Amino acid sequence: MKQFTDSSNYSAAMHIIRKLVSSGYEALFAGGSVRDMLLSGRIDGDIDIATNALPEAVSRLFPQTVPVGAKFGVVVVIIGGVPFEVATFRSDRGIADGRHPADVVFTDARNDALRRDFTVNGLFYDPVSGEIHDYVNGREDLSGKVIRAIGNPDLRFSEDYLRMLRAVRFAARFSFSIEEATWEALQRNASHIKAISVERIFGELDKMLCGLHPDHALALLDTSGLLEQVLPEVASLKGVGQPPQFHPEGDVFEHTRKALSLLGKHPSPVLAWSVLLHDIGKPATMTVSDRIRFNGHDQAGAKSAWLLLRKLHSSNVLADEVEACIANHMNMMQVKNMRLGTLKKLLARPTIDDELELHRIDCLASHGNTENYGFLREQRRRFAAEQIRPEPLLRGRDLVELGLSPGPLFGEMLSAVYDLQLEEVLSSKEDALKWLRERYPQLPGENR
């Protein structure tokens, strides 16, 4: 428990607990932090606190608070700039629409545990006495490595269908199984996930993809029936055959699953989504001639990925960058035949880090040949940053000085000069001006 007690979050959380307890309230660590502490002896995530103090009392006790969900009993207490959720023990009352409780009532720790989703998430820890309060047999399921709904799983899912995605996410992250009745209810209710807002669905998928074992999450999404509801474009990769000489691993879905298994710890969301979606253009572009081909699947897939992400209300930046990574992923196969200028432009792309990693994973999840990846890494080391994206030898103002006005020809000239600069054909402003005069005889003379 040493690492655990050393964390600065822990000290700040203890400050909140002590203050509540010395004011006569009960205050406990709740949910994920207790689970993580029992699993690994440390808490890396947030520490949520549960108490019998009412929101007004919590707000009065601490100088810096935000009543984020005071109606639901949640007050954020800020200690040293770090926010902590302090929630009054509550019980959800009435099922409004499978998404939100109609109302909450303030209650005791036992009933607060019962409203939580899974037994392993329903534990409390009293850091003053060192005692665990387990009203839901959560400890037993932690040692048995089981995700089990608290109470009747059909009912619990129907209160908030997002819990189905959460079950998959926790099972994948901890390599736990999903208990039989919970799993059957999940399969029965999968189509109801549509009742949940796309923002919440995106949030869960994003955590799954960027967390541990995203390949396991994909397999569970598939077998539960959730995948065809939330990511039909990915579900349709199943059974799409590929040429075995390039893809000994199997169909496009299996390739995608294998690719996800190769994501390292804490991938960027751009990389994780790009890996998941890099081949979604394949079903629509498949042709069979001399062999199975997917001409243009990169461009088609890039567009579909952008649309899919925007439909899930992801940020524009994420959608744009994933689109760029997917649009480029086949270019990586050509790098050894590229002109120097084209290669430098590729290496200067803002998404290049994620593109390189996507390429490496794509190769390892199929034929296993990473020669092009090695070549690109080597080239990147060779070109210093200035060489990849040097300051242009000529700028617009230089052309204006020559007596030209901005227009299409203007842009064409600048980009032609820049390309030759990248090719290392031109290396000084004088060279560039000389080349321009030769190439565009209509330019005004030197002594205008």
Select the span of 156-164, 350-358, 408-416, 436-444 touching ligand ATP (CB under 6 A): 156-164
Long-range contacts of range 13-18, CB-CB < 8 Å, 24 or more positions apart? 13/47, 13/49, 13/84, 13/127, 14/127, 15/79, 16/49, 16/62, 16/77, 16/79, 16/84, 16/86, 17/49, 17/127, 17/128, 18/128
Select the span of 115-123, 225-233, 261-269, 408-416 touching ligand ATP (CB under 6 A): 115-123
Q: What are phi and psi of 106, to 5 degrees?
A: -80, 140
* # residues contacting ligand ATP (CB under 6 A): 11
121 binds, among Mg ion, ligand ATP, none (CB under 5 to 8 A by kind): ligand ATP
Tell me whether residue 69 or residue 392 sits nearer to ligand ATP (CB atom).
Answer: 69
Binding mask 47-76 for ligand ATP (x = CB under 6 A): -x----------------------------
Select the span of 158-166, 230-238, 294-302, 320-328 touching ligand ATP (CB under 6 A): 158-166
Tell me whether residue 73 or residue 122 sits nearer to ligand ATP (CB atom).
Answer: 122
Question: How many whole angstroms separate alpha carbon 366 and alpha carbon 258?
Answer: 9
Among 30, 32, 55, 314, binds Mg ion (CB under 5 A): 32
CA distances from 225 to 40, 186, 231, 255 (A): 31, 8, 10, 20
Under rule CB under 6 A, residue 136 binds ligand ATP = no
Select the span of 159-167, 262-270, 273-281, 362-370 touching ligand ATP (CB under 6 A): 159-167
Under rule CB under 6 A, residue 162 binds ligand ATP = yes
Under rule CB under 6 A, residue 117 binds ligand ATP = yes
Question: How many whole angstroms separate alpha carbon 13 and alpha carbon 33?
Answer: 11
Question: How many whole angstroms separate alpha carbon 152 and alpha carbon 180?
Answer: 12
Among 4, 21, 46, 222, binds Mg ion (CB under 5 A): 46
Under rule CB under 6 A, residue 116 binds ligand ATP = yes
Under rule CB under 6 A, residue 279 binds ligand ATP = no
How far apart are CB 182 and ligand ATP at their closest, in Å? 13
Q: Which residue has the tokens 């269908």?
A: 161
215 binds, among Mg ion, ligand ATP, none (CB under 5 to 8 A by kind): none
Tell me whether residue 84 or residue 435 sits nearer to Mg ion (CB atom).
Answer: 84
CB atoms within 10 A of CB 424: 12
Select the span of 27-35, 128-136, 361-369, 397-405 touching Mg ion (CB under 5 A): 27-35
- Cβ-closest residue to ligand ATP? 32
Contact residues toward ligand ATP (CB under 6 A) are 31-32, 45, 48, 116-117, 121-122, 160, 162-163
